[in-house]
């Protein structure tokens, strides 16, 4: 509809960043089931939010229940799951949100594609690392036990591979540090990269 006069200008990325006080950013947590991704993501979101950042968590379980409820766990479906979440994360980051993604995301190529959708410096890969036996010991949902009974096919770490990041931006050994210490490691990285409010 044209009412005469100039067309309104599109809201620029710099304007969004100026209003929020920071640029959008994606913090992508990858690791085995039970490694501690969801726990870290909630704690990190709280710290960012309390410090004045616009932030949101995209958690694998919640995404699977909604956006990706039509997908299974075959390699092709896993890749599509990552693609969809990557697009949502990119869109939110473009709107100026600091997005925390907590997904197993087992394949390096899929994580690389997720990173490729972002400007340099606006994507942080965090390897949430814990030995398999530790992850199994934390398994409140009994998923590892079901997979070992062959009730779940293509279970990452047992019957489906996990490709650990070779050079993650941050690595957190959750069998060796507390949740608060893990959050500190991510926070310190973001500070070094000048991604936090001043």
Active site residue 41: no
- Concatenate the DSSP letters of all residues of 41-63 into one string: HHHHHHHHHHTT--EEEEEHHHH
Contact criterion met (CB below 8 Å) for 41 and 20: no
N- to C-terminal Cα distance for the chain? 42
* Catalytic-role residue among 38, 41, 105, 160: 105
Are the C-beta atoms of residues 174 and 129 closer than 8 Å to each other? yes
Give 3-state DSSP helix, strand, coil % of the chain, rounded to 5.
40, 15, 45
For residues 96 and 22, what is the distance between their CA atoms, to the nearest angstrom?
7
Residues with catalytic function = 105
């Amino acid at each position: 509809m044209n009412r005469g006069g100039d067309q309104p200008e599109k809201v620029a990325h710099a304007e969004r960043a100026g209003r929020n006080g920071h640029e959008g950013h994606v913090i992508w947590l990858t690791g085995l089931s039970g490694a501690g991704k969801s726990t870290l993501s909630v704690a990190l979101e709280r710290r960012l939010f309390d410090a004045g950042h616009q932030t949101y968590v995209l958690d694998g379980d919640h995404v699977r229940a909604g956006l990706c409820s039509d997908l299974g766990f075959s390699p092709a479906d896993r890749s599509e799951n990552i693609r969809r979440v990557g697009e949502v994360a990119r869109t939110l980051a473009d709107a100026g949100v600091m997005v925390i993604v907590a997904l197993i995301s087992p394949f390096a190529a899929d994580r690389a594609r997720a990173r490729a959708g972002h400007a340099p410096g606006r994507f942080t890969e965090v390897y949430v690392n814990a030995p398999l036996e530790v992850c199994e010991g934390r398994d409140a949902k009994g998923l590892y036990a079901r997979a070992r009974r062959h009730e779940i096919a293509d279970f990452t770490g047992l019957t489906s591979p996990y490709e650990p990041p070779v050079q993650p931006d941050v690595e957190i050994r959750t069998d060796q540090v507390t949740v608060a210490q893990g959050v500190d490691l991510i926070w310190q990285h973001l500070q070094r990269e000048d991604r936090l409010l001043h």
